[in-house]
Amino acid sequence: MIKAKKSQVFVIGGTHGNEFTGVYLIKKLRSQNLKKNYNKISPFFELGNEEAFRLNRRYVDHDLNRCFSKDFLLEAKKKLEEKGEGFLEHEEKLALNFDKLFKEEKADFIIDLHTTTSQMGPTLILSHKDHLSLTVAAHLKKAFPALKVICEFKELEDNYCLFTQAQAGILLEFGPVPQGVLKSELFLLMEKVVKETLSFLESAGEGEVGPYKMEELETFHVLENLDYPRDEEGNLRGMIHPDREGKDFLPIKDGEPLFICFDGETIPWKGPTVWPIFMNEAAYYEKSVAMVLTSKQKGF
C-alpha cells in the first residue's frame, strides 16, 4: 500500500525580525505540538530571521522577503561555491537555507506572517493564481469577513518573496502594529486565521470544501507604488494628509487631499479613483513607498 503523501505546509513568522507578532505566534504554535491534529497535512512552524529578531531590526543585510528572485539565489549560490559560506551575507545564507528546505521537504503551501504599521486591519496577500491559493483566500474571507484580500499576481519565476517559493501560499499582513510591538487583539486573530487555514488545508482534499462564488469576492488588485513628495536631494517634503491618514482600503478621488507638505502645501490625488493601502508603512520610507495603489474588483 502506498501511503498518500501529506501536504507539506510551512508557517513562517519573523521573516522581518521587528515584526514580533509572527515570531511569538510561531513560538506559541510550536509549543502546542499541533502536528498530531492533522492527517492530510504536515505543518512546519519556522522562524524566518532569528538574528534580525534578536537585533529588533527588519533585516541584517537584506530584506529577506526580497531575497528569493532567481538572480539573488543564483548569485548567493555562486558566492557560496566560489568563496565559501563565510563570505555570504546573513540573508543570503538564510535564503539558500530556506530554498533548500522548501525543495527537500517539497513545500506545498507557505503561510508567511507579517505586520504593518499601516491601519490596514487583517489582510491576506495573494501572489499565486493557483486554484488552492484562491480557494483558501475565498474560504478565509468567508470565515473572517473583516479580512481584506489583496492580489499581486506575478509569474512565480519573477517573484522575490519567501511565500512564493511553494506552488501555493498566502501572506498574512495585519496592522496597525508598530515595529517591535505585540498587539494582543491582532495576535489572537492571526492565530485563528492560521489555524483556520491549516484546518481548511487538512480538509481540502476530502471534498469538504464548500462552493465559493469566487467571481463575487471583493479583492484589491495592486496597481503601483506611490512615493512621498520629496525635494531634489530625495528628502521628505511632506507626509500623508490628516484627511487621508488611516484610510487604507477607502477610495480616493481626483482632487482629494493626499499629502500635506512641511511648508503647508496640500497635494491632492490626481487621477482615477484608487484604493490606497500600506499607507505610512514604516519600512517603506526607505523603499520610497508612501502607499500602494489598488483597484477594487470582484473576483480575481
Query: What is d(CA 42, CA 53) in angstroms, rounded to the nearest whole number?
Result: 26
C-beta of residue 123 within 8 angstroms of C-beta of residue 173: yes
Residue 250 makes contact with a copy of itself by CB under 8 A: no
Find the shortest distance in angstroms from Cβ 294 to a copy of itself. Answer: 21
Task: Give the residue, chosen from 27, 230, 253, 298, that forms a contact with a copy of itself under the rule CB under 8 A.
Answer: 27
- Cα-Cα-Cα-Cα torsion 54, 60, 66, 71, nearest 10 degrees, comes to -130
Identity of the residue, 23 or 166, whose beta carbon is nearer to a copy of itself in the bound complex:
23
The amino acid sitting at 24 is Y
Residue 50 makes contact with a copy of itself by CB under 8 A: no
Give me the 114-133 binding string for a copy of itself, x by CB under 8 A, dash otherwise: ---x----------------
Number of residues this chain uses to bind a copy of itself (CB under 8 A): 31
Find the shortest distance in angstroms from Cβ 269 to a copy of itself. Answer: 15
Count of CB atoms situated within 10 Å of the CB of 157:
8
Find the shortest distance in angstroms from Cβ 219 to a copy of itself. Answer: 27
Listed ranges 22-30, 96-104, 131-139, 217-225: which one lies at the site for a copy of itself (CB under 8 A): 22-30
Torsions phi, psi of 270, nearest 5?
Answer: -120, 115
Residue 260 makes contact with a copy of itself by CB under 8 A: yes
Give me the 161-200 binding string for a copy of itself, x by CB under 8 A, dash otherwise: ---------------x-xxxxxxxx-xx------------
User: b vs e for 249-275, b when ≥16 Cβ sit within 10 Å of the residue's Cβ?
Assistant: beebeeeeebbbbeeeeeeebeeeebb
Count of CB atoms situated within 10 Å of the CB of 204:
19
Nearest residue to 37 (alpha-carbon basis) of 207, 222, 241, 196: 196
Task: Give the residue, chosen from 5, 28, 106, 213, that forms a contact with a copy of itself under the rule CB under 8 A.
Answer: 28
Find the shortest distance in angstroms from Cβ 177 to a copy of itself. Answer: 8
Torsions phi, psi of 268, nearest 5?
Answer: -85, 160
Identity of the residue, 7 or 115, whose beta carbon is nearer to a copy of itself in the bound complex:
115
226: its cell numbers: 506611490
Identity of the residue, 181 or 250, whose beta carbon is nearer to a copy of itself in the bound complex:
181
Find the shortest distance in angstroms from Cβ 13 to a copy of itself. Answer: 13
Give me the 227-246 binding string for a copy of itself, x by CB under 8 A, dash otherwise: ---------x--xxxx--x-
DSSP 286: T
C-beta of residue 125 within 8 angstroms of C-beta of residue 195: no
Find the shortest distance in angstroms from Cβ 143 to a copy of itself. Answer: 20
Using CA atoms, how far residue 78 sits from 71, 83, 84, 91, 159, in Å, is: 10, 8, 9, 15, 20
Contacts with a copy of itself, residue ranges (CB under 8 A): 24, 27-28, 31, 56, 117, 176, 178-185, 187-188, 236, 239-242, 245, 260, 262-263, 280, 282-283, 285-286
